[in-house]
Amino acid sequence: MKRFIRLAGMPLFGLLLFTGVASPGLAEEPFSSEQVNLMASACANCHGTDGRLVGSVPTLAGRPAAVLEARLLAFKHNETTDATIMDRIAKGFTDEELAALAGHFAAIDPDEDDAPESEQEPQQ
Ligand code: HEC
C-alpha cells in the first residue's frame, strides 16, 4: 500500500521505470519496428504499400509526422467534417499508436522506387 501511494504520487517516474524495465534497449521508443509495421499494414489496403498511393485516398508517405498525427487524432476525436472512413479506423488505435503510425509514414521516402512492378504515375 505504501508503495502504491508512492508510485501514484509520481506517475511519470513510475511510468519511466516500468518502460525501462519492459524494454531496456528501446526506452525512448514505445513500439518496436515490428509492431509499427504490423499496425501500418492495416493502412496499406487503402493508402497503398508504404502509404505511397497516388489517387483519391491521400498519400501518407513523406508527409510531416506532426500533420499526420494531428489528422489522425482529429479523426479519432470527431474533430473533422471530411471523414468518410478514417474516423472509424482511427478509433481502433491509442493516441500513442497513432503517433507511431504518423512517424512511420513520415519516415518513408515517397519517391524511392522499391516496387518496380507497380504502375508509376508521373508526379508533378
Ligand atoms: C478503408 C480504407 C482506409 C484505410 C484502411 C485507412 N485509410 Fe486513411 N484515409 C482513407 C480515406 C478515404 C481518407 C480521406 C478521409 C476520409 O474520407 O475519411 C484517409 C485519410 C487519412 C489521413 C489524412 C490524410 C490527409 O491528407 O488529410 C491519414 C493521416 C490517414 N488516412 C492515415 C491512415 C492510417 C495511419 C491508416 C492505418 C491505421 C489508415 N489511414 C487506414 C482511407 C483509409
| Domains contained in the chain, number | 2
107 or 119, which is more confident: 107
Among 56, 71, 89, residue to substitute to test ligand 1 (most atoms within 8 Å of Cβ):
89
Q: Each residue of 63-77: pLDDT tens digit?
A: 999 999 999 999 999
Does 97 fall in a domain? yes
Query: Quick check: 97 and 31 in contact, CB under 8 A?
Result: yes
Does 117 fall in a domain? no
Check which CATH number belongs to the domain holding 43 and give it: 1.10.760.10
Together in a domain, 10 and 51: no
Residue tagged 525512448 (cell numbers): 28
CA angle 104, 31, 58 (to 5 degrees): 25
In 3D, which of 117, 101, 91, 99 has the Cα closest to residue 38?
Answer: 101
C-alpha cell at 18: 516500468
Per-residue pLDDT at 123: 57
**Amino acid identity, position 99:** A
Report pTM.
Answer: 0.74
Together in a domain, 62 and 89: yes
Does 101 fall in a domain? yes
Together in a domain, 58 and 35: yes
CA dist 122 → 23, 55, 111, 119 (Å):
43, 12, 11, 10
CA of 106 to the centre of ligand 1 (A): 14
Does 3 fall in a domain? yes
Query: Quick check: 76 and 50 in contact, CB under 8 A?
Result: no
Range of the domain at 17: 1-30
**pLDDT at 25 > cutoff 80:** no
Together in a domain, 87 and 42: yes
Does 124 fall in a domain? no
